[in-house]
Amino acid sequence: MNVEKLQDIVGQDWVITKREQMESYLVDETALAVRPKPADNVVVVKPANSKEISEILKLANREKTPVFIRGGGTGLCGGAMPTVDGIVLSMERLDKVEEVDKDNLMIVVEGGVTLEAMLKAVEDAGLFFPPHPGDEGAYIGGLVACNAGGARAVKYGVIRNYVKGLEVVLPTGEIMNVGGKLIKNNQGLDLLHLLIHSEGILGVITKVIFRLYPRSASSGTMVISYDTRHDAMDSVPKILRSGVIPLAVEYVDRDVIEMSAEYLGMKWPATKGSAHVIVIVTGANEDEVYLQAEQVS
């Protein structure tokens, strides 16, 4: 690896070569029992924009150096871990929310923006982004690359359903834009959805345009308790057949959720049953929410 050329591209302060300074960049949240061993010879590079990423990938392509794209490190399957010698490309400096377009119900964010930061920008604008994967520390580029879902997928689907445009740096360094602020786009082949869920194989996602929705005025959360896991799971299709499509449905074991509540200094409200289903419903007003809750119960 040509460290000097990498420093020329991003600046000396944004290249890490000392092992003790890069430990947190070498692992993700994969369980220790199955976590692969990081490679020995790794350089961490922190570009600031798509142009710098383009130059890094051109260099890596010429020198046949593997590149591992690093987002928030929240993955559970080792996808961001450098398992062979190469470059860890951290997206942390691409952290700008560029635009919240209230008129067209769109938001434009860079690939290194956290889900938490984007949700705050959306909420501040009085709007709503339907998907909610579990970890708000995840980076937007990673969520798109993995087509993340979350508990709200039962009503609104997954990340793929809300991506309207992407800026992507290809492995050979070309910067490509696909899609845009369009609900309907019949322009040629659908490269947008080829890039979504490509797990970083086809390029580095540097910018995303998402579709947003108006925020519901009211919401309510129910905890439904069951004696067995089977009974809890069996209730979900029945809930959906009732005519109510909840905002979110999540199964939790009592032991696990009580430990989580204790860790947060809170008390889990359900006292009966060993298996629970959390159901969230939304509506235009409280009466609509109560009506849905009655239908579910």
Residue that terminates a domain, selected from 90, 105, 124: 90
Q: Express each pLDDT in 226-256 by its tens digit.
A: 999 999 999 999 999 988 999 999 999 999 9
247 lies in which domain range? 218-296
Residue that terminates a domain, selected from 90, 118, 146: 90
pLDDT value for 187: 76
200 and 111 together in one domain: yes
Q: Give the distance, in angstroms, between the CA of residue 21 and the centroid of all CA atoms in the same chain.
A: 26
pLDDT value for 207: 99
142 and 55 together in one domain: no
Domain count, the chain: 3
Residue that terminates a domain, selected from 35, 69, 90: 90
230 and 189 together in one domain: no
3-state secondary structure of 82: coil
Where residue 188 falls (left for φ over 0; alpha for ψ -120 to 50; beta otherwise) is left
115 and 203 together in one domain: yes
State the CATH number of the domain containing residue 69: 3.30.43.10
Helix, strand, coil shares of the chain, percent, nearest 5, are 30, 25, 40
Report the half-sphere exposure of 142 (CA within 13 A, side-chain side): 30
136 and 178 together in one domain: yes
Taking the whole predicted model, whether its pTM rises above 0.95 is answered as no
State the CATH number of the domain containing residue 147: 3.30.465.10
30 and 102 together in one domain: no
State the CATH number of the domain containing residue 243: 3.30.70.2190
41 and 12 together in one domain: yes
pLDDT value for 186: 80
104 and 200 together in one domain: yes
Would you give per-residue pLDDT tens digits along the chain (297 residues)? Answer: 799 999 999 999 999 999 999 999 999 999 999 999 999 999 999 999 999 999 999 999 999 999 999 999 999 999 999 999 999 999 999 999 999 999 999 999 999 999 999 999 999 999 999 999 989 999 999 999 999 999 899 999 999 999 999 999 999 999 999 999 988 888 788 899 999 999 999 999 999 999 999 999 999 999 999 999 999 999 999 999 988 999 999 999 999 999 999 999 999 999 899 999 999 999 999 999 999 999 998
60 and 122 together in one domain: no
Q: What does the alpha-carbon distance between residue 275 and residue 267 come to, in Å, rounded to a whole number? A: 16
54 and 21 together in one domain: yes
